[in-house]
Each structure stands twice: as C-alpha cells, then as structure tokens.
Structure 1
Amino acid sequence: MLIVKKFGGSSVADKERIYRVARRCIEDYKKGHQVVVVLSAMGDTTDELLEKAKEINPNASKRELDMLLTTGEQVSVSLMAMAINALGIPAVSLNAFQVMMYSTSTYGNARFKKVDTERIYHELESGKIVIVTGFQAVNKYDDYATLGRGGSDTTAVALASVLHADQCEIYTDVDGVYTADPRVVKNARKLEAVTYDEMLELAAHGAKVLHNRSVEMAKKYGVQLVVRSSLNENEGTIVKETVKMERMLVTGVAGEKDIVRISVIGIDDKPGVAFKIFNTLAKNKINIDIILQSIGREGTKDISFTVAESDLEAALNVLEEHKEALTIKEVKYKKDVAKVSVVGDGMMSNPGVAAQMFEALYNSRININMISTSEIRITVLIAESDLDKALNAVHEEFGLGTY
C-alpha cells in the first residue's frame, strides 16, 4: 500500500513534534507500506519570514517573496529526514525542483500543471520514506512559485493522484472536520464524513481545515481524503464523493474574517459594464466573492462585491487605473466585515433554510449586509464584531451540536 501523509506547521513546530510525526510515519513503514510525507513549514515560520521581508522591503516582489518563503518547507523536510534516519529508518527529503513539480507562473498563488513521479518512485523502491516540500512548485522560468497559504494540502493531493496512492491522510491540529470551528463554537461536533462539494464550500468560506484547491483536485481525480489529528490516534473525517443517503439539512457553519467590501458607484446602467469590471479584476488575478447590484437609477447603478483583504490594494489600484473606461464615478470600501455560511447537501431538497438562518441572525440582533447563495450554501456578510455571535446562533438554530 502507498500512503501519502501531509502534516501542517503546528505538527512539526518543535523537536518533540517532529519526532512524534517521524514515529507515526515509521509505524506505517514497518507494516510494509510505502510512505510519502508532505510537510509545511515549522510552526509560524512563514509568518516570521513575511515579517522579515517587510522589515527589508515592504513592497517586495512576489517573485522574491516566493524565493524566501519556500525555504521554510525545505527546513521542515530536511529535519524530518534527519529524525527518521536517527530512528534507524532510511529517508530522503526532496524539494519541488528535485521532484519536478511544475506549475503556472503566478507567484504567490500558482497552480499545478504536472508532477513527475520518477524520482519519488526510485526512492520508494530503494526502501526509503520520501519526504516532500509542500506549498511550492517550479514555474516555466525555473523559479519557485508558491501555491498560496494552505497549499501543502494541494501538494499532498497532487502527489496522491499521480502516484495512485491507496490513502491520502491530512494531519492537522484538530482531529477532523467539525460542524463549526470548535475554538469558537464550544459544542461543535466532529463529522464522520463529508462530501467533496460540502467540504469545498466550507473551505472556500472560512473553514481552515483544508485548502479549497486541494478539495477541488481531490474531487476531480477521485482522491479520498482523511482529515485527522497529528496529536492523537482518533479517527478522522473522511472526505469523499457521497455519504449516507439521509443527510442533516445543514452539515456545517463557517465564518471568515479578513475580507473587504468594495463598492463601485455610479457606473453606466447598460449591458457589458459589469462584465468589463469583473473581467478587468480577473485579468489582474483578483478573486471576487459576494456580488450585489443595485437597481438602476437615472441611467446609473452601483455594484458592491467582496475581496480578500490582501487583495484590497491591488483591486483599488486596478479600479482607479481603469476608472474612466469602466464609467466609475466613485470607489468606496469597508473593512471590518465578515462572512457566515451554512453548507449542506440536504439544502437542495429542503426550502426554508435561508429563512431559518435569517431568523437566527435577527434574534441575535445581527444585521445582514449582503447575501450570496449556491445549491448547497447560503452566505451572508455581517459586521466582523458579530462573527462569533453569529456562528453560535446559526449553529444552535440548526441543531448541529446534537445528534
């Protein structure tokens, strides 16, 4: 059996945890399995490196930031190989160049294009545990390109796919996927299983357990995931195509901060204007989430939308640069907002979920600013200061903390 095991930064934060992970990998190796390990940078290394970069140059290019940030994972994998070797088991560490993990050229948010398997198979066949850097790839310029925060999950799924792994295990500091963030909602319950679609919506709207692109890739290539804790032996949550037939109405609730609402005021109320605005933002790699358009008045209309706070400056620059061509009279933005989402396959065949969610927020005196929906998700934009209260209220409304 070939097993891919991914461990996050908190799982390898210090010597004790590195050796705990090493022993866990060796357990499977001694059972006769081939083991490929994907690691994130140790603890808060990535944040520390970003702080160092800001000290030197607050406007550093994304290319140089990627060159810097990829060193974090290289430290992790080399130390892990040393730990496994010290425990008497052969192991080898490999970075994205040594494996040859090819990606698009977008620094800071690259996507995999192709992953070679020759080197990994060679090392596995020679009897070694193979430890690979997560979060990084190589672009067409032979530069490092990172996959975005949480990208090590995507590395693990990509390897599991191309290696046709029998298992892909994602280890983190929680022991599975919960109905809500257990640090915020005290009676949140661990889920035994969740579908790819539900996990994708939860990940895209604030659940930090899995990188949303890793779920996209797992669904596309049929890679079944298990999310579990590196700190205990508890059973985790399985992420797969389908789960049992009779589902709860709502599977989980997610919340997200660090977003901004941008409003473009007074644009021409005629066909094609909205397309031009969002096409211009897309060409500049700015992701848009919730969108709300006002009713036209006197030949003009307003459009509001949300972006990640990290994209605010770029979005404002793009809109200002193309202000005249896009017929924008004014651009406003509002920070201190947050998203709350309810997700569940059961919502498709059950009307009234939105009303139930809105009632829970109303009873908690929480105002809704914007609304977005899909077949299995309802998302609202609220004040950031109300986020924790909203998560608890909605979680309780749908009875997610009890069976």
Structure 2
Amino acid sequence: MGIVVQKFGGTSVGTIDRIKNVAKIVTKTKEQGNQVVVVVSAMGDSTDDLLDMAHQITSTPSSRELDMLLTTGEQVSISLLAMALQEIGFSAISFTGWQAGVKTESVHSKARITDISSERIVQELKNDKIVIVAGFQGVSEEGEITTLGRGGSDTSAVALAAALKADLCEIYTDVDGVYTTDPRIEPKAKKLKEVSFDEMLELANLGAVVLHPRAVENAKKFGVHLVVRSSLVQVEGTVIKEEHGMEHVKVVTGVAYDMDVARVQVIGLENKINALSDLFSTLAKEKVNVDMIVTSDYGEDKINVSFSITSSDLQHTLAILERYVGSCTMISHEDHLAKVSIVGAGMISNPGVAAKMFEVLSNADIPIKMVTTSEIKVSCLVPKEYAISGVQELHRSFELDHE
C-alpha cells in the first residue's frame, strides 16, 4: 500500500456530476489499497466570477482581500467532494490549505510554498480517511491567508507529494496527457507517452498550460513520480520523468506558444557597470518576471535594453520604470505580441535547429521581433496575429504530426 496524491482542476470539478465522477476515480484508487490525498481547484469558472465581483466594487482591490476572497472557491470544491465520497460509503475529510499545514512566503497572490507540516494529513490517513486539500492556497508565518498564483493547485499537489513521500502524483485535467502542441489549434498534434522533466519545464514555461512550471520544477527537485491524465476518459496519460535515453528519435519534442506577451524598451540607459543588475533587480523585487533580454549600444556611454514580460504586467512595469530611470532615458513598449517556441532535448546534439526554425517562419512571412535560446529550446517573439500559423508551420516542418 502506498500514498497517491491526485489533483483535479477546475474543469474536472466544474459541475456536481463531475464531482461525483471524481469521487469514483478517487475511490477506485483507494480500493486498490492506497492511501489517497486529493487536491482540488475551484469549480469551473468560479475564480473568474469572484474576480469579476471584486472588480465591480473596485478597480484596484487589495491583494490581501483578493486572497481572502479567492480561497473560498476551493473551499466549496473540497467540501462538496468530501460529501460525495461520504455519500458512497467512504470516510473523507476536507482541509483548507492552512489546515493542511501549507506554509508560504508573506506574499499575496504569488506566494511560494516554504514548508508543509503534514502531521494532520498523516494522522487522518492512518485513520483510513481520504484527505481532500484545497489547492492554490496556504498561510504565511504571520497567519495571513495567501494564494500561490496561476497553476497553484498543481504546485500544491506536487509539494504535498514530496512532503508525504508519495509513490505517485497524478495531475487530472480535461486533456488526456501532454501533446506535441495544443490540439485545439493543431488537430494533428500527438500525445506524448513520456517527456523529460527538463522538456516539460520548458514547455510549461513557454505557454503549455497542462502543467504549471513550479510544479514541474518541484517534481524534478524532489523526485516526484508525476503523471498527467484525463479525468473525463480513462486512457493512459503522459509520464513526466528524468531523461535516461542517450539518443533522441526526434530533435524537437513539442511546440509551445504564449499569447500574453509584451515588449518593453529602455532607450539611452546610462552604461554603468551595474546598470543591468540594478535595472533587473528592481523589477525582480516588484515580482516582475522578465523573459527575453536584448541589449545594444546607443551612442556614447548609453545602451538600449529590450525585454519581454507578460502583458498583464505591462502597466505595473511601466510605472516602475518611470520611477527608476532618469529624465534622459526614454521608455517605449509594444503589446499584442506572442512567443512561439520549439523544445527538445535532442537539440543539444543536433546543430542547425534554430536556423531551420527561422527559415520556417521566414518562408511563412512571419516577422521575428526577438529571439532567446537555451540548450533545449528556441523562442521567437512574433506579432500575435501570426502565432497560430507559426505553431502549425513549425509542427509540420519538424514532423511532429508523425507517430
């Protein structure tokens, strides 16, 4: 008998019927002799509904009160699922994040988990109960309710699996695994039987929403056995694992895209030795995540710095820069951009992959605004209206539509 952590997203618990379906999946795992911990998100679009209500009251709700509001969504899900399990004869108990011992940084809306005191969960498992934990939330050292940001329930599940030394962590969603690209925009996308932690981390960071990057990062760090599968159909999912193969059949594993990107340019920044470190340290302290960075000379003792951020951070970033830079420095920005990326561990030993990507986009008359690379990924910033066609062209050109 082992410990299995199962996470169900908002779509999986979006209706009462789907909650009852989740209960059947959970009890099947329990009947196989496992101790089961279930992590759930808020039902369907309830988080968006709560946000909408907040913004009907104020355009600038405080982050503390937003966390207080949004965490109620998961409380609805955990209590309903506990009732569904009890109704079919299984002993179950629901915990909020703080009741489950999930401790976080003292940051609202984007907190990171610092520790999990799992004693209460372990005790209830020993009492032969199914434990249901609200994802996406925790409590700071000051006793403040916090949320973990987008994809926080994935992170909650992996963190609990690591703390409990679980044998398996299953991420149930509305798709049946990880695909070579988004099957909603490319019907020929293929499901991957397995993918390495490093490839999945890049895909998740680059826009593949099936798993949150922090969840993948923690799974790799703590050696969590991670599987992505569907809560709607009973089929084999995708295993996320360490890369053991020495050679790769395909150079590129997948194509990802992110439609929420903006570019900011700081023109005429004084070229001091600590100019870049000061600039990006300032942004980091304000929780602005910077991706692509390009610098160039701008006259004598001046430089231009261009970088990409999420569109939702644009106004916040511009406000920070207005305070930070001097009057001799100009700031410009460009919105309505997208990032298109190819990912594959096989790139390490195969030169010319980036050149082929540029050629594919050029032949499709898609302009490239910025480029960034790593050993296993190449990303291009393009106008948003070209993103979908770019993904489709790259998917076909790298033969990802083949088995």
Range class of TM-score, shorter chain: over 0.9
The answer to whether residue 34 in structure 2 is matched with residue 52 in structure 1 is no
Q: Which residue of 1 aligns with 2:188?
A: 187
Give the match for residue 397 of structure 1.
Answer: 397
Aligned residue for 2:39, secondary structure, equals strand
SS in 1 for 2:99: helix
Q: Mind listing any 5+ residue stretches in structure 2 that lack a counterpart? A: none
1:274-312 Cα offsets, whole Å, 9 max, x none, are 111111111111110011112332332211101112211
| Residue equivalent to 1:236 | 237
Aligned pairs for 1:11-50 within 5 A: 11-50=12-51
Amino acid across the alignment from 1:52: M
The size of the alignment, in residue pairs, is 401
Letter in 1 for 2:22: V
Q: What CA distance in whole angstroms lies between the structure 2 residues aligned with 1:116 and 1:170?
A: 22
1:244-283, Cα deviation, whole Å (9 max, x unpaired): 4331101111000111111111112332211111111111
Provide the residue aligned with 1:172 in structure 2: 173
Q: Tell whether the 8 Å contact from 1:193 to 1:243 is kept in structure 2 after alignment.
A: no
Q: Displacement, 1:152?
A: 0.4
Q: 2:313 aligned to 289, 311, 314, which one?
A: 311
Number of the residue aligned with 1:75: 76
SS of residue paired to 1:386:
helix
Q: Could you tell me which residue of structure 2 aligns to residue 89 of structure 1?
A: 90
Distance 1:10 1:309 in 2: 25
Q: Shift of the alpha carbon at 1:106?
A: 1.4
Letter in 2 for 1:71: T
Q: What amino acid does structure 2 have at the position aligned with 1:383?
A: P
Is 1:264–1:328's contact at 8 Å kept on the other side of the alignment?
no
**Paired-residue identity, %:** 50
Residue 296 of structure 1 is matched in structure 2 by 298
Give the secondary structure class of the aligned counterpart of 1:312: helix
TM-score (norm 1): 0.98
Which residue number corresponds to residue 265 of structure 1?
Answer: 267
Name 1:153's counterpart in structure 2: 154
Mark the CA change 1:179 to 1:328 in structure 2 (over 3 Å): closer, same or farther.
farther
- Tell me how far apart the structure 2 counterparts of residues 376 and 242 of structure 1 sit (CA, whole Å): 13
Q: 2:373 matched to 1:361? A: no
**3-state SS of 1:371 partner:** strand
Distance in 1 (CA, whole Å) between partners of 2:104 and 2:272 is 39
Shift of 1:211: 0.7
Q: Aligned ranges for residues 92-131 of structure 1 at < 5 Å?
A: 92-131=93-132
The amino acid of 1:351's aligned partner reads P
Q: Distance in 1 between matches of 2:245 and 2:190?
A: 17
* Distance in 2 (alpha carbons) for counterparts of 1:243 and 1:66: 41
**Secondary structure of 1:333's aligned partner:** strand
Query: 8 Å contact 2:269–2:325 — kept in the other structure?
Result: no
CA RMSD of aligned residues (A): 1.0
Residue 328 of structure 1, CA deviation: 5.5
Contact 2:179 2:192 in 1 (8 A): yes
User: What residue is the counterpart of 2:352 in the other structure?
Assistant: 352
Distance in 2 between residues matched to 1:333 and 1:237, nearest whole Å = 39
Q: Which amino acid aligns with 2:342?
A: V
Extract structure 1 runs of 4+ deviating beyond 4 A: none
- 1:248-259 map, 5 Å: 248-259=250-261
Pairwise CA distance, 1:140: 1.8
